[in-house]
Every structure is written in structure tokens, then in C-alpha cells.
Amino acid sequence: MSSNHKNPFLTDTEKETDPEVLKRREKQIEYGKITERYQEYIEAVPKNERKYWQPRTPKKDQVTPRRIFDGEVQAWKKKLHYWNDKDECTKIIPKGKGAGRKREWKPKDSSPEEEKSAKRQKYPSERNDDRKL
């Protein structure tokens, strides 16, 4: 999570104080920090030289719902694998309740007229039905 990003759940004075929540979050973050890719990343890119798109460790003391935090941790771990590839890194977005999901746009193979025709064939209306009751 970048420092410019304002979390709607976090105010200037609000910090997470629940010891169980903090312990769970520390554990999640530690799992990411013990990986080989994280070690490569911190050795290759000093903190003051990191780009906006490179991974940022989620803030464990931010007041945020569990699903949102879990999504941020998951995205951070994925970004650690692509820390030197801007295109791949920027594709990764946090998932969780309220987080947007990026969907890949695919062009349609048929025109709108062809789609309407296909729908009519698939779902014929009852008035055009030749059945006799």
C-alpha cells in the first residue's frame, strides 16, 4: 500500500489496538518477509529508491476490516514475485470486501445484430411458438 493512498477506515489518530488482531497480522507479514523474493527485493531496492508500483508492506496497525487487510497482504505477496516488472506488478490489486476487481476486456466475436438473432433462436418468444395447446 503506497503512502499516498488514504485508507477510508483509518483516521490520523486511529490505530488497531486489539492484541489478537495485531499478532495475526504480524504473523501474516512475517510469512512474506521470510521468502527468498522478499530478501532479494530489499537487498536490490533500498526503501528510499522504491517506485510507487513496487510492493509496500501492509501497515499492521491500520484500522481496517479483516478481509481488506487479508487482500492487501495477498496482493503484497504476489507483488513480491514481480517487484522488478512494472507491468505485472501494476496488474495486481487487493481483493476483499469493497475492493474492485480488475477484469480483462475481451472483444466480442459477433456484432450486436448477430447476438440478438442468436438470443431469439435460443429463447423464442411464446407468441412465435407454433405449438397448439
CA 69 to chain CA mean position, Å? 11
Distance CA 60, CA 83 (A): 21
Q: Which residue has the higher pLDDT, 56 or 97?
A: 56
Q: What DSSP string runs through 21-54? A: HHHHHHHHHHHHHTSHHHHHHHHHS-GGG--TTS
Distance CA 85, CA 61 (A): 29
CA 52 to chain CA mean position, Å? 16
The percentage of the chain sitting over the pLDDT mark of 70, rounded to a whole number, equals 62
What mean pLDDT value characterizes the chain? 77
Residue 38 and residue 76 in contact, taking contact as beta carbons nearer than 8 Å = no
Average pLDDT over residues 102-129: 56
Question: pLDDT (tens digit, 9 = 90+) per residue, 49-65?
Answer: 999 889 999 999 999 99
Provide CATH code, domain 19-108: 1.10.8.1120
Please give the backbone phi and psi of residue 10, each rounded to the nearest 5 degrees, phi first. Answer: -110, 125
pTM, to two decimals: 0.61
Q: What is the pLDDT of residue 69?
A: 94
With a CB cutoff of 8 Å and minimum separation 6, the contacts of 24 are: none
